[in-house]
């Protein structure tokens, strides 16, 4: 009886090891362990044996069953690995091959504009500062001299986060401007300060000219001697360089922002010609950004003495100035992930923005 069982085990293991693919292995498994398999058939014959013989032969059959099942699992893993390797070999891609022209990627206009802004301000001695997208009430509102009753604090303008209890946590907010980076910088860095803060911001608004998420860049200069004339000169140099118009005519209009005093909105000279916006010509004006001298209350909130330090700040939407420069009519198309749109408005990825070579060559 022992020889017969040994022969059965050897035969079944031989069939398992000889299986050349997963389908053949499944056939072997069913033939050995299925309802009509050889081991199952041997188990059914145990009823005709004496109790001692049934116990001995049953234990032996169980060992054979375990050995065959284990061998099947090992063989299955080996065959699956071999099949995967064969597939990977067949589907391999030579990444050293040049990209086909029709599949050449394009740099998104927001990324291009972002690079242009950094290139211009980098030449002017500014550094790039960053901060978190999720802010607290102090950095997003209070430190910027925004009073509790200000409309910007309302839920129809601002995205507040939920607390652990599922209720709105009015201390946690998706930042509504990158001015929060200015606060962090003034708290953690001794003047003189000269930074720009590009990044994503979030407001509860959506139409042809607004999206719930958009990109913004703000600038901050803090020292002991900076005045409004420096602000005007900085904006004149930046906007002339960005729109690539020598001495671009600007207009400063008195305005109000809680975090600056005095405050001014800045317009650029423009006109419409053949349905396209022409910057630097004509009799029309278009608002482009907000600016002003940093409010003394903002300096105090950051631990700076307004009797010793002063400075200016300004900010603008990156999508907005990209739309004006590159003739993009609808803000929402920036976020549609439309490859046709990107092929039309996109930029070659290796053409880095540079004032020396030209920003948007």
Q: What is the pLDDT of residues 68-109, one digit of tens each?
A: 889 989 999 998 998 888 888 888 777 787 766 666 778 899
The β-bridge relationship of strands 127-128 and 193-202 is parallel
pTM for the model stands at 0.68
Q: For residue range 8-63, what is the model confidence (pLDDT) as tens digits?
A: 888 888 888 888 888 898 888 888 888 888 888 888 877 778 887 878 887 888 88
- 131 pLDDT above the threshold of 90: yes
How far, in Å, CA of 32 to CA of 91, rounded? 35
What is the model's pLDDT at position 162? 83
What is the model's pLDDT at position 206? 64
At 323, give phi and psi (nearest 5°): -60, -45
Query: How much is the mean pLDDT over the chain?
Result: 88
Nearest to 202 by CA among 192, 211, 191, 194: 211
> 151 with 204: CB under 8 angstroms?
no
Which residues share a beta bridge with 334?
A: none
Averaged over 193-212, what is the pLDDT?
83
Q: pLDDT band at residue 192, thresholds of 50, 70 and 90?
A: very high
Residue linked to tokens 């990627």: 105
Alpha-carbon dihedral 203, 206, 209, 212, rounded to 10 degrees: 30
Distance of alpha carbon 164 from the chain centroid = 25
Nearest to 219 by CA among 211, 231, 202, 229: 231
Q: For residue range 298-334, what is the model confidence (pLDDT) as tens digits?
A: 999 999 999 999 999 999 999 999 999 998 988 888 8
Domain ranges of the chain: 2-90, 109-345
What is the model's pLDDT at position 211? 76
Which residues share a beta bridge with 317?
A: 216
Q: pLDDT band at residue 357, thresholds of 50, 70 and 90?
A: low
What is the model's pLDDT at position 240? 95
How far, in Å, CA of 211 to CA of 208, rounded? 8
**Structure tokens, 255:** 């305005």
**Number of C-beta neighbours around residue 9 at 10 A:** 19
What class does CATH assign to 109-345? alpha beta
Q: Please report, rounded to a whole number, the percentage of residues in the chain having pLDDT higher than 70.
A: 94
What is the model's pLDDT at position 358? 66
Averaged over 140-168, what is the pLDDT?
83
């Amino acid at each position: 009886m022992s020889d017969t069982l040994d022969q059965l085990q050897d035969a079944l293991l031989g069939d398992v090891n000889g299986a050349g693919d997963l389908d053949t292995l499944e056939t072997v498994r069913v033939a050995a362990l299925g309802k009509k398999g050889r081991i199952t058939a041997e188990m059914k014959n145990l009823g005709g044996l004496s109790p001692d013989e049934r116990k001995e032969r049953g234990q032996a059959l169980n060992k054979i069953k375990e050995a065959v099942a284990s061998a099947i699992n090992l063989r299955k893993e080996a065959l699956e690995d071999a099949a995967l390797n064969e597939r990977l070999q067949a589907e391999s891609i030579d990444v050293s091959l040049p990209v086909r022209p029709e599949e050449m990627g394009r740099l998104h206009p927001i990324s291009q504009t972002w690079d242009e802004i950094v290139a211009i301000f980098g030449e002017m001695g500014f550094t790039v500062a960053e901060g978190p997208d999720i802010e607290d009430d102090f950095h997003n509102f209070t430190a910027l001299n925004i009073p509790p009753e200000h409309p910007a604090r309302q839920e129809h303008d601002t995205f507040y986060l939920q607390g652990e209890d599922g209720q709105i946590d009015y201390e946690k907010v998706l930042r509504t401007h990158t001015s929060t980076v200015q606060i962090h910088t003034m708290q953690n860095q001794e003047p003189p300060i000269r930074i720009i803060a590009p990044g994503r911001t979030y407001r509860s608004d959506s139409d042809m000219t607004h999206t719930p998420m958009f990109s913004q860049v703000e600038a901050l200069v803090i020292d002991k001697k900076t005045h409004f004339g420096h602000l005007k000169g900085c904006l004149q140099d930046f906007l002339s360089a960005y729109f690539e118009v020598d001495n671009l005519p600007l207009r400063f209009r008195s305005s109000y922002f809680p975090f600056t005093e005095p405050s001014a909105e800045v317009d650029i000279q423009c006109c419409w010609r053949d349905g396209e916006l022409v910057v630097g010509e004509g009799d029309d004006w278009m608002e482009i950004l907000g600016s002003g001298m940093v409010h003394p209350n903002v300096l105090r909130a950051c631990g700076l003495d307004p009797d010793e330090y002063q400075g200016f700040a300004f900010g603008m939407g990156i999508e907005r100035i990209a739309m004006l420069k590159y003739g993009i009519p609808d803000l929402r198309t920036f976020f549609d992930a439309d490859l046709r749109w990107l092929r039309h408005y996109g930029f070659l990825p290796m053409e880095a923005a540079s004032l020396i070579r030209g920003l948007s060559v």
